[in-house]
Amino acid sequence: MLATFLIGLREGLEAALVVGILVAYLRRLGRRDALPRLWTGVALAVVLALGIGAVLTFGAYSLTFEAQELIGGLLSLLAVGMVTWMIFWMQKAGRTMKATLEGGLDRALTDGGIWALIAIGFVSVAREGIETTLLLWSMVQSFGDAPSALLGAVLGLLAAVVIGWLLARGAVRLDLRRFFAWTSGFLVIVAAGVLAYAIMDLQEAGALPGPFTTAAPLDAATGAVALGWAAFPFGWAFDVTSAIAPDGALATILQATLGFMPRMTWLQVTAWTLYLVVVGFFFVRGLRARRTPTSPKPASSGQSPSASALTQQGAA
């Protein structure tokens, strides 16, 4: 529940920030008449995300076990790819996000008409919505406790809406650069865990060699799948289920925060380690590259204090 709450909060606040910048800019231009079109695009993006979640949840019931595992593994890989791209996109484009969004609105207002405005609202939210849906679905599948995981996500999204509204009203100020840096670091760890779970799904489906296929090395004494170094690379890396119950609270917490499972294959451990090392290295390097002092631009004439605060924080 805590892991999905943080994901819902992070992704929801990102979407709320984008929408807040667009709304503030339209109000500053005196184009309140365009707000309904923008909100229409936002609503369509939310419906799309919910629809994808419903299809993933209910559409798998008629499939075989192997097909479910194969689709689940591929979608988890897609979620990892989208999350990774979003993390580095925020690092690179975060400072120019406000200018990019305002430029898109300017073009939509002058050239595109109603459908262009709807598209601006839709695209601005759909990206975060689809990414969040895939990530949460993958985590729910791995946790096996859908009600708690979904409740955490809903609470996180609601908290993001409240914080976004307070930011727009100027009632609260938040160091968004630090917030997104910390939560992006958390997402790197979560994505590594989702990647490990995707590997397990693909191994259970037979798409990758592992303990469930004929490629698994066997223990000569017991005839079971080998464990430890003797099992490398297609057997079990470790098995601590006797000390940590797979369905227990400790296992759930470790899996939600670190991607750790009481029993993991060598392919899982290798993928988890490589992802953390490679992605973590570039993520930390990107953080260091951004540590250059910048001075906020003064608010333009006619811009309300709340809109100025929101757009300046969005630029950060």
CA–CA dist 95, 97 (Å, integer): 6
Task: Please tell me the distance from the alpha carbon of residue 7 to that of residue 47, in angstroms, as a whole number.
Answer: 19
How far is CA 179 from its chain centroid? Answer: 15
73, 201 contact by CB (below 8 A): yes
What is residue 202's predicted lDDT score, i.e. its pLDDT?
A: 92
CB contact set of 61 (below 8 Å; sequence gap of 6+): none
Q: How far is CA 15 from CA 12, 30, 46, 174, in A?
A: 5, 23, 11, 15
pTM of the model: 0.76
Question: Taking CA 161 as the corner, what is the angle to CA 155 and CA 166, rounded to the nearest 5 degrees?
Answer: 125
When the pLDDT of each residue in the chain is averaged and rounded to a whole number, the result is 80
Closest CA to 128 of 181, 77, 52: 52
Question: With contact defined as beta carbons under 8 Å apart, do 138 and 197 qualify?
Answer: yes
Q: What pLDDT score was predicted for residue 228?
A: 92
Domain boundaries, the chain: 2-315
How far apart CA 152 and CA 58 sit, in angstroms, is 20
In order along its 316 residues, the chain shows pLDDT tens digits of 777 888 888 888 888 888 887 887 788 878 787 888 888 888 999 899 888 888 877 766 566 778 888 888 898 898 899 889 888 887 776 666 667 777 777 777 776 666 777 787 888 788 888 888 888 887 777 666 567 778 888 898 888 888 877 776 665 676 767 777 888 888 899 889 889 989 999 999 899 999 998 888 998 888 889 999 999 999 999 999 999 988 777 887 788 778 888 999 999 999 999 999 999 999 998 888 766 554 444 444 444 444 444 444 444 4
Terminal alpha carbon distance of the chain: 29
- Which DSSP symbol is given to 225? B
Q: Is 36 helix (H, G, I), strand (E, B) or coil?
A: helix
State the pLDDT at residue 75. 86
